[in-house]
Structure 1
Amino acid sequence: MEVYQAIKKLLDRALACEMIKQQDEIYARNQIMALLALDEFIEPGASPDGKGIPDLLEALADYAAGEGIIGGLDFEGEIFASKIMNVLIPRPSEVNALFYEKYKTDPNLATDYFYELSKNSNYIQTKQIAKNISYTYESDYGTLDITINLSKPEKDPKQIAIEREMKSRATAYPKCLLCIENEGYAGRIGYPARSNHRIIGLELGGEPWYLQYSPYVYYNEHCIVLSAEHRDMKIGRGAFTRLLEFVGKFPAYFLGSNADLPIVGGSILSHDHYQGGKYEFAMARAREIYSFPLGGFPNVEAAALKWPLSVIRLRGNDPNELVGAADKIYESWKGYSDPDVGIEAFTGQTRHNTITPIARKRGHQFEMDLVLRNNRTSADHPLGIFHPHSDVQHIKKENIGLIEVMGLAVLPARLESELKEIERYLLGEEADVKDYHLAWAGEMKERHTIELSPHTVSAIVRKNVGAKFARVLEDAGVFKQTEEGKRAFRKFTDLLR
């Protein structure tokens, strides 16, 4: 009877979330029964009402595995659960039609509808995301967000072995995780299930683009805006135009782009895309250090920010003027060198300077933050001169992309267990502290001897992780927040007058 109870509860949840209507219930039930190889439906009795959609899908996938309908590996269960969910959500044309019907009344109604659908359909992995460890840290630059990313489940060793075997036979469809061909794609070994995936069509800069949400959202309404064409990331006038046009259409959202060069770019540089959401990061609240006139753009306000990375903020009423102003700064920065502070624009023909742009709307004004980036490496810093340096890589070694740039640390899952061992060490207990943490743990023990106790140790470690992340961001800044760095920043902005 448990399988029938799970089916009934899933249908009840789908009705309550308005994914299906009452007239759809029997049809949907029969479609789910077919996937489960059930020939009849036995009406179940009453049972406790505690399980949510992810748990019910998990129960049905476990039943299917037990009956030999699918294999027992995680990816097979995910594909099966996604197929079940696909029965309960509208086709792409219906989703788009309803989105734009709501948009006519209020853009927020449209995005609220689509975000709830993406969560309720289990495309956004709410159960997995709940495992993340998140807290804030009060820094000299404002309140930073710290997240230890535990969302993505560990793979079964059998699955890893199968993936390795299948690599030589891997298909090139879809070309990448962001391509529009992912909508409704069943998935396969080593490639996520997307039967329950829906995207919203947009026009930006006269081109077809699409809106979706991240399956593992790092902040409220974490969205991805992607090109219909599979093409490389590219910063320039076209990107600035699209970012500002998007926030004009959806003024409650910010939208930003990763830089378009390795080391300082995001994890996917092979598909042109942006990230946004309904969230205010610490960088958006950063105060201005000084303002300066921007030659050729008298109606655009320009200012340097107090932020660990080097940021120029533009503000104005006309998005076209902001596009021109941003393009002027970008073109100036691409060829700018200042050897006194380690900035070199080129090594031979290889370009090192680029920008991470972020757009938002405040009332009637548009705002664009331009974060100056440089990806040069050296013998002392082989992973990047303006990249987390070796003494902070035990906390964060990966690229500093758009999300980190704005003040949210996405830290590796290994830290969950490693920080617990450090807490034991600080309390004088037997502990297995990784070699790369030992110096840091010793410094903490010496610095916090008086206040260390079982009640305070977690807060002390978290505070010190936050301080390390602030250092990570400082390492990524091309003009440091020192007197020398500030003078060098002014030297560049003076050229823009």
Structure 2
Amino acid sequence: MDVYQALQSLLNKALETELILEQDEIYSRNQILSLLSLDDFPAETETNGELSIPELLEVLTDYAVDRGLIEDVSSEKDIFSAKIMNVFIQRPSDLNRTFKEKYSEDPKKATDYFYKLSLNSNYIQTKQIARNISYQIETDYGTMDITINLSKPEKDPKQIALEKQMKPSSSNYPKCLLCIENEGYAGRINHPARSNHRVIGIELTGEPWFLQYSPYVYYNEHCIVLSAEHRDMKIDKYAFSRLLEFVGKFPTYFLGSNADLPIVGGSILTHDHYQGGSYEFAMARAAEIYSFGMKTYPGIEAVTLKWPLSVIRLKGSNPEELADAAQSILEAWIGYSDPEAGILSHTGNERHNTITPIARVRDGKFELDLVLRNNRTSEAHPLGIFHPHQDVHHIKKENIGLIEVMGLAVLPARLETELKEIEKYLLGDAADVKEYHQAWAYEMEEKHAAELTAENVTEIVRKNVGAKFVRVLEDAGVYKQTETGQLKFRKFIEAL
């Protein structure tokens, strides 16, 4: 396929997906011709309807590399393809107006429209996401989701060399990957392309906030809701109120927040933001095991869950009362210590207790899940007492953030090849099993020796990965799902 065929095929796709209308076609073609340093276009151009938008972008980007328009490095190619797609996307004001018109009909119509646009504009990296290895596993806590994250492309040597040559930016613009200044930002060697990025303005607790989708979605309609102000993450009554207000406005979505402390928080603690989407995680389906009332909040029903982490679920019809109840629990938890359970609220002036909250609307009521977290470390567990312990680091060592808390494992890309080597080992082939996996591989060999076959070895390894992920979550739980653990959990509830 030559460059003209690819360009016309891309225009056809843009028309087909309603990124543009018929009267936009000539304008869009000319804008892209300019990006490609072309000044003509054949009258009769064949097209190919089988290639996807990401595949057609690759053809055009390869042409730009061959003609010396851009360097053959991933960042420049991403920037160039984002500029091409930006030609097809409305200005932010027009897009927000369309979103609001659809929202006035039905909130779901509005989010469907914006999600479809984010997919078709190649902002959501569908081709990269398709590389992920994803499956589900049955556990004592329900059906968990497992993802080996292969979607973010590795940097090639030329890209790394260019980054090293770059002088540190003095402008600090945008301040981080979540700032609203990323909307339409071209990108640079060490900052991702965002020409085709758009956000939707919403108001939460009287403040300007924005809705966008994650470029590397881990589940259906994986969205990010971010503050207009670049400020640190904070869990407080305002956070609870915003989560509940959002799901009231968009009842087909859940919305949750990472905790606001290191170790138990997510990867970005410097910009206040939440994550949500149209997906039901295993935690949402977890069985209720203990219910209690709160005298100060008679309209609230409170329960604990059968879940590896320690969760209090609040249910009610009044979101303001729910936020007040959640704040009272947070305040009690921040100052709570139980040395016998390994829980100390502070070390000197350093606070250890916080909450990971998740809001949803179900059966006409608001729900707010409060996951109790503690980030204390010890000599035996220098990365965190309530953090994945050393014997599961070969599978998961990183922070257990919101997505993992709810029951979706996001596992490192290295496992793709490492698990294949373990499968070979289990089948008796010579295999280079990493040292940190050897004890686990031997344990699987002993446990499954009688049933192992070439047909079921992948399934067996996957089940054992799922069991390790459950252990990861159990390590992160401040009160274990044991008789003693649950008694200590109720001790805290009584202290409320």
The TM-score normalised by the length of structure 1 is 0.99
Q: 1:276 to 1:84 in 2, by over 3 A?
A: same
In the comparison of the two structures, how many residue pairs are matched?
496
Return the letter of the residue paired with 2:268: I
Provide the residue aligned with 1:200 in structure 2. 200
Provide the residue aligned with 1:284 in structure 2. 284
Deviation at 1:165, TM superposition (A): 2.5
Provide the residue aligned with 1:213 in structure 2. 213
CA contact (8 A) 1:289 1:305 kept: yes
Provide the residue aligned with 1:333 in structure 2. 333
Provide the residue aligned with 1:253 in structure 2. 253
Query: Structure 2 CA distance, aligned partners of 1:408 and 1:339?
Result: 31
Return the letter of the residue paired with 2:57: L
Secondary structure at the counterpart of residue 138 of structure 1: strand
Return the letter of the residue paired with 1:209: W
Secondary structure at the counterpart of residue 247 of structure 1: helix
CA contact (8 A) 2:9 2:47 kept: no
Secondary structure at the counterpart of residue 168 of structure 1: coil
Matched, 1:77 2:77: yes
CA contact (8 A) 1:134 1:146 kept: yes
CA contact (8 A) 1:4 1:43 kept: no
Provide the residue aligned with 2:420 in structure 1. 420
Provide the residue aligned with 2:358 in structure 1. 358
CA contact (8 A) 2:5 2:48 kept: no
Q: 1:167 to 1:233 in 2, by over 3 A?
A: farther
Q: Deviations over 1:419-472 (max 9, x none)?
A: 000000000101010000000000000000011010010000000000000000
* Structure-to-structure mapping, 1:162-311, within 5 angstroms: 162-166=162-166, 168-169=168-169, 171-311=171-311
Deviation at 1:46, TM superposition (A): 3.2
Structure 2 unpaired stretches of 5+: none
Secondary structure at the counterpart of residue 444 of structure 1: helix
Provide the residue aligned with 1:101 in structure 2. 101
Query: Structure 1 CA distance, aligned partners of 2:192 and 2:363?
Result: 39
Query: Structure 1 CA distance, aligned partners of 2:380 and 2:251?
Result: 44
Query: Structure 2 CA distance, aligned partners of 1:435 and 1:167?
Result: 39
Query: Structure 2 CA distance, aligned partners of 1:458 and 1:171?
Result: 49
Provide the residue aligned with 1:380 in structure 2. 380
Q: Deviations over 1:22-68 (max 9, x none)?
A: 00000000000000010100145435421110011111011011001
Secondary structure at the counterpart of residue 382 of structure 1: coil
Q: Deviations over 1:251-301 (max 9, x none)?
A: 000000000000000000000000000000000001111101113001100
Matched, 1:27 2:27: yes
RMSD after superposition: 0.9
Deviation at 1:162, TM superposition (A): 1.4
Return the letter of the residue paired with 1:391: D
Return the letter of the residue paired with 1:336: Y
Secondary structure at the counterpart of residue 135 of structure 2: strand
CA contact (8 A) 2:6 2:48 kept: no
Query: Structure 2 CA distance, aligned partners of 1:170 and 1:106?
Result: 44
Q: Deviations over 1:348-371 (max 9, x none)?
A: 000000000000001321000000
Deviation at 1:74, TM superposition (A): 1.1
Query: Structure 1 CA distance, aligned partners of 2:8 and 2:169?
Result: 40
Q: 1:406 to 1:167 in 2, by over 3 A?
A: farther
Query: Structure 2 CA distance, aligned partners of 1:164 and 1:336?
Result: 47
Q: Deviations over 1:87-143 (max 9, x none)?
A: 011111111010010000100000000000000000000000000000011010000
Return the letter of the residue paired with 2:349: Q
* Structure-to-structure mapping, 1:121-200, within 5 angstroms: 121-166=121-166, 168-169=168-169, 171-200=171-200
Structure 1 unpaired stretches of 5+: none
Query: Structure 2 CA distance, aligned partners of 1:41 and 1:440?
Result: 61
The TM-score normalised by the length of structure 2 is 0.99
Provide the residue aligned with 2:477 in structure 1. 477
Query: Structure 2 CA distance, aligned partners of 1:488 and 1:307?
Result: 15
Matched, 1:437 2:400: no
Query: Structure 2 CA distance, aligned partners of 1:164 and 1:352?
Result: 37
Q: 1:48 to 1:110 in 2, by over 3 A?
A: same
Deviation at 1:72, TM superposition (A): 1.1
Query: Structure 2 CA distance, aligned partners of 1:111 and 1:170?
Result: 37
Provide the residue aligned with 1:315 in structure 2. 315
Secondary structure at the counterpart of residue 88 of structure 1: coil
Return the letter of the residue paired with 1:142: G
Q: 1:300 to 1:167 in 2, by over 3 A?
A: farther
Matched, 1:324 2:320: no
Secondary structure at the counterpart of residue 80 of structure 1: helix
Return the letter of the residue paired with 2:459: A
